[in-house]
Amino acid sequence: MAAGSGTTTRLTLATGAGREEGEHVKPFTPEKAKEIIMSLQQPAIFCNMVFDWPSRHWNAKYLSEVLHGKQIRFRMGMKNGGTVPQFETTCGYVEATLEEFLTWNCDQSSLSGPFRDYDHSKFWAYADYKYFVSLFEDKTDIFQDVKWCDFGFPGRNGQESTLWIGSLGSHTPCHLDSYGCNLVFQVQGRKRWHLFPPEDTPFLYPTRIPFEESSVFSKINVVNPDLKRFPQFRKAQRHMVTLSPGQVLFVPRHWWHYVESVDPVTVSVNSWIELEEDHLARVEEAITRMLVCALKTAEDPHNTRAWLNPTEVEETSHEVNCRYLNGAVSAFFDHYRASKVVEIQALRTNREHTKEEELNVYSHMEVGQTCSQNSTMGAIKQEAASPFGPDLVPVTQRSEEPPSERGGIFENDGKDFVDKDREHFGKLHCAKRQQMMSNSTNAIVEQIASNSTTGPSLTFISTDDLLDCLVNPQVTRMVAQLLIQGRSL
């Protein structure tokens, strides 16, 4: 167990084969951990899973030695930011080494160096969302220090991970990730996570501007909300947890999150795990990109780019966006055809699965991998024993308190509420994932896919095809309603 995690470690007695007295044992096998990740619909903290990972020693001091002299971009934000979210487009940026960051952070009166314009008492700094592959370029051995194979993802290591190093108060505004689910390893310091379930999306006032592929932002600063402007936010079900070193947070697909550093220095590492549902999400993202780029570049010939998140390298041309959309649509159908063939073969060899009607696109595509079987399997899964216990702690809902009493919000420190949530578990564990498609969309997909099970994709989407869908009266009605609601905010 990593030092300072505050959770108990368990010791085994000598049990033979390779085991020595005092050896730590992981509470979940990789297979079990993956089963939990693929079926759980609620955030939870894994404890005692990373005590032997070399990366548990990656504090900012150690990383500053590894990355000696490397220039890193820090996002600078204000400690008292008001009710408006501090989007990346409104932050300042500083290029500095980790050593310079640590000097600024420790010697708080320093008026020299790259951070000289930022008074430490008023600003925070965040080296956020740094892909290992760009950061450690020539030091690829370090990738092995992160071992997501322990969670059932063989071969996944730092190469598929991102690093986050921040000072007290540094934070990421509330957003949801369009793709995958997330595993987050807290290495140094503590971070407070404010999470909201996918069904709260209307209460979070989603926006695609600033545009960043794969992130849907909330218009609300969830730690200091303007409830006059955003009254529906009162209905949102805030879940809160403070993640400590050595713990791994599981964030299910499409859960909103706002994340803030609550210690002087924080380091965390995360990896987004791809899911079946990402195929449709990629099509949605491609449509969003095309629309945002088309309208925003038309609006502003001088292109201030204030609408484009700095993580996006550039606005893409209509031609590129068309190719991107067609790529996403083809991948969607290719995946569907391939997975349908696999499913048919599985059914042929398994006499228990004879009910033809259970072989539908839904069961495969709407439901997560371990939940994607027929209803009988689903029922068995739901009766399975709860995985929760001292080493897997559910993140539970916390009632909201007035923003001024933020410090007093009762939160889960990763140790309590296990029994209460055991009851809750039957409902949450292996609950069907939200439906990806309507019945009618589903029928169309099935028809197109069965028309062409082997041949090349016949699904080319032209600008006119897209326009035809976008100006569909149902869509324009919804847009009109949203515009009118927006005006009255």
CB of 190 to ligand AKG, least distance (A): 12
The 10 Å Cβ neighbour count of residue 457 is 16
- Contacting range for ligand AKG; rule: CB under 6 A; set: 14-22, 74-82, 133-141, 176-184: 176-184
- Rule CB under 6 A: choose which of 64, 161, 167, 172 binds ligand AKG: 172
CB of 177 to ligand AKG, least distance (A): 5
Determine, following the binding rule CB under 6 A, whether residue 257 of this chain makes contact with ligand AKG: yes
Residue 246: closest CA among 22, 26, 20, 11: 26
- Rule CB under 6 A: choose which of 55, 242, 268, 370 binds ligand AKG: 268
Distance CA 246, CA 190 (A): 10
Determine, following the binding rule CB under 6 A, whether residue 335 of this chain makes contact with ligand AKG: no
Identify which of residues 268 and 316 has a Cβ nearer to ligand AKG in the complex.
268
Number of residues forming the site for ligand AKG (CB under 6 A): 11
Identify which of residues 127 and 283 has a Cβ nearer to ligand AKG in the complex.
127
- Rule CB under 6 A: choose which of 174, 216, 259, 269 binds ligand AKG: 259
DSSP H helices, 349-462, are: 361-365, 375-383, 418-428, 439-451
Strand (E) or helix (H) holding 35: helix 30-39
| 256-261/191-196 β-pairing | antiparallel
CB of 327 to ligand AKG, least distance (A): 24
Identify which of residues 128 and 150 has a Cβ nearer to ligand AKG in the complex.
128
Distance CA 431, CA 4 (A): 35
Distance CA 220, CA 118 (A): 25
CB of 172 to ligand AKG, least distance (A): 3
The 10 Å Cβ neighbour count of residue 200 is 19
Distance CA 199, CA 434 (A): 9
Determine, following the binding rule CB under 6 A, whether residue 177 of this chain makes contact with ligand AKG: yes
Distance CA 291, CA 211 (A): 11
- The vertex-170 CA angle with 405 and 53, nearest 5°, equals 110
Determine, following the binding rule CB under 6 A, whether residue 184 of this chain makes contact with ligand AKG: yes
Determine, following the binding rule CB under 6 A, whether residue 1 of this chain makes contact with ligand AKG: no
CB of 224 to ligand AKG, least distance (A): 17
Determine, following the binding rule CB under 6 A, whether residue 182 of this chain makes contact with ligand AKG: yes
Distance CA 30, CA 147 (A): 11
**For the window 37-66, what string marks contact with ligand AKG as x by the rule CB under 6 A?**
------------------------------
Determine, following the binding rule CB under 6 A, whether residue 217 of this chain makes contact with ligand AKG: no
DSSP H helices, 181-317, are: 278-299
Site for ligand AKG in 104-133 (CB under 6 A): 128
Identify which of residues 193 and 203 has a Cβ nearer to ligand AKG in the complex.
193
- Rule CB under 6 A: choose which of 41, 188, 218, 270 binds ligand AKG: 270
Identify which of residues 123 and 164 has a Cβ nearer to ligand AKG in the complex.
164
Taking only Cα atoms into account, the Rg of the chain, rounded to an integer number of angstroms, comes to 24
Strand (E) or helix (H) holding 44: strand 44-46
DSSP 3-state of 239: strand
Per CB under 6 A, residues contacting ligand AKG are 128, 164, 172, 177, 182, 184, 191, 257, 259, 268, 270
